[in-house]
Amino acid sequence: MAVMSRLLVVAGIAIGLWAVSCLAMVLLAHRLPPGLLRQVAEFLPACVTTARLLRRDPDVPRRAKVALLVAIVWVVSPIDLLPEFLPVIGPLDDVVAVVLLLRYAARSIPRETLLEAWPTDPALLLRLLGSR
């Protein structure tokens, strides 16, 4: 029983440290100077915000809404192809999946609607979507 309680304490501390480090990264990302590093740090949260806004838009086709829903679920899901604790490559599966799903959805969404829903600098989004 003592081993189990110690294990729970260690797990609680690990989860607490992970949560604090995530919060610190989010707060510190806002202090980054404008540029590519800041855009990368803001990318996944901006994608989730954009997907939520576009899912409510009546002008967005159903297949695009389904792709956006899959992107949101992929990001918030605790199940990953690559574990998040792996440095650098941990969030890579999330980024790749979101980029592919966003590009798929963007084919049927008017560019103006997509840019209005994007909450940060649109330069990275435009670079990812490419020209049509």
pLDDT in tens, 11-20: 889 888 877 8
Q: Angle at CA 68, nearest 5°, toward 62 and 73? A: 125
Mean pLDDT of 125-130: 84
Q: How far apart are the first and last CA of the chain?
A: 63
Tens-place pLDDT, residues 39-98: 777 787 888 889 889 988 988 999 999 998 898 888 777 777 777 677 667 777 788 888
Higher-scoring residue by pLDDT: 106, 4: 106
Spans of all domains in the chain: 1-31, 34-129
For 89-113, the three-class secondary structure string (H helix, E strand, C coil) is: CCCHHHHHHHHHHHHHHHCCCCHHH
In 3D, which of 48, 55, 34, 31 has the Cα closest to residue 123?
34
| Per-residue confidence (pLDDT) for residue 66, from 0 to 100 | 93
Buried b (16+ CB within 10 A) or exposed e, 29-55: eeeeeeeeebbebbbeebbbbbbebbb
What span, in angstroms and rounded, lies between the C-alpha atoms of 7 and 24?
26
